[in-house]
Amino acid sequence: MSALPMMDPKVTVINSPHVVILGAGASRATFPDGDKNSIELPLMCDLVQKVELEKLLDSHKISYENRNFEEIYDEIATSYKDSEFLETIEERIHNYFAQMRLTDELTLYDKIILCLRKKDLIATFNWDPFLALVYRRNLHIKELPRIVFLHGNVAIGVCLEDKVKGYMGEKCATCGKYYQQTGLLYPIRDKNYKKNPFIANEWNEFESYLKRAYFLTIFGYNAPESDVVAIDMMNNIWEKNQTRELAEIDIIDIKTSEELRETWKEFIVRSHYSAINDFKYSYISAYPRRTCVALFMATIQQQPLQKNNLPDFNTLEDLHNWISPLVEEEILYREENKKFSGLPCNQIREKD
């Protein structure tokens, strides 16, 4: 094992981001009953049926029974490149996700977004609009994490001229033109992440965070074969992380611990990981907005912090009220300690 580089852990680790990677399983867990109108969220294993592509595939004699859509699409993209058939498949998928509407109730995505900090990042592979829409309804809280869309997103548009992204249906604040669709990156084995300028930029931002991350959470992303390029890219970035030997990984998935360790073995350092099947058992839920602080205090300082478990709220307003003192504390510490933005915040609010 190579020696760790000399560093002041208070400066580098405490200020390091917590990076959360979301896959389709995270959206399904967040919206198990579908959207506001009960439109169900597809996974790759049932996308053909949910989007009703059977007749279209039958017309071109493409078998789909007991096949994952990743495999089906890869076959179509290879045999029908630049065809009307391929365009129709893509258009139907885009339209299916674009019609989805956010529920009014408090969701798991609200909790994830509000339990992370401004220094953190959420990277999603999902096409559905929910993470973006949940983010927008929480914007008034401020101090929210960054979000990048690694495969594009139906709710997010881009102004390539001014190099900014925003919500579809809205206008660029600089040029006044409506945001244009980002395009979705579909499941083929040899994806070109540099071809689409929007997606290339999202990956560049993801890289800058992942190579500095002190905590990594992977939620509902099963690293499919069609994403082998993405996995290799992430692994190459993670290997450059100078705090990797100290970092921790939470893997949230319904698969067994053995399966998850095998899937993510290239990312895991020794026993620095947890495999859990529910967000409520995660480090994010145990130490909302304090994950990196808590890990640092427990492992480097040997002074574990008291858990501040996220309560099981019924309304978004209740969650906002509970989170607000933590946000205020962060701002106070940053203002009082400008040299070390985001210091430990040791005096985490005691439970009543």
Predicted pLDDT at 252:
97
Three-state DSSP state, 165: strand
Return the CATH architecture of domain 9-34+102-336.
3-Layer(aba) Sandwich (3.40)
Average pLDDT, the chain: 89
Burial level of 132, CB count in 10 A (0-12/13-18/19+)? Answer: buried
Q: Which residue has the higher pLDDT, 24 or 346?
A: 24
Predicted pLDDT at 338:
57
Q: Is the pLDDT of residue 347 over 50?
A: no
Predicted pLDDT at 337:
64
Predicted pLDDT at 302:
87
Q: Which residue has the higher pLDDT, 65 or 189?
A: 65
**Residues 230-255: pLDDT tens digits?**
999 999 999 999 888 889 999 999 99
Q: Which residue has the higher pLDDT, 189 or 280?
A: 280
Q: How far is 288 from 278, CA to CA, in rounded Å?
A: 15
- What value does the mean pLDDT take over residues 166-179? 95
Q: Is the pLDDT of residue 157 over 60?
A: yes
What are the CA-CA distances from residue 30 to residues 105, 108, 276 (Å)?
A: 11, 5, 16
pTM for the whole structure? 0.91
Residues of the chain with CATH 3.40.50: 9-34+102-336
- What value does the mean pLDDT take over residues 168-174? 94
Q: Quick one: tokens of 275? A: 């495999």
**Residues 259-286: pLDDT tens digits?**
999 999 999 988 899 999 999 999 999 9
Q: Quick one: tokens of 198? A: 């929007």
Among candidate residues 100, 164, 178, 163, the one with its CA nearest the CA of residue 133: 100
Predicted pLDDT at 305:
87
Predicted pLDDT at 350:
38
Q: pLDDT tier at 189 (50, 70, 90 boundaries)?
A: confident
Where do the DSSP E strands lie in the chain? Answer: 18-22, 121-124, 146-149, 156-159, 164-167, 180-181, 215-219, 248-252, 273-276
Q: pLDDT tier at 188 (50, 70, 90 boundaries)?
A: confident
Judged by average pLDDT, the poorest of 2-11, 72-81, 216-225 is 2-11
Query: Do 235 and 211 touch, CB atoms closer than 8 A?
Result: no
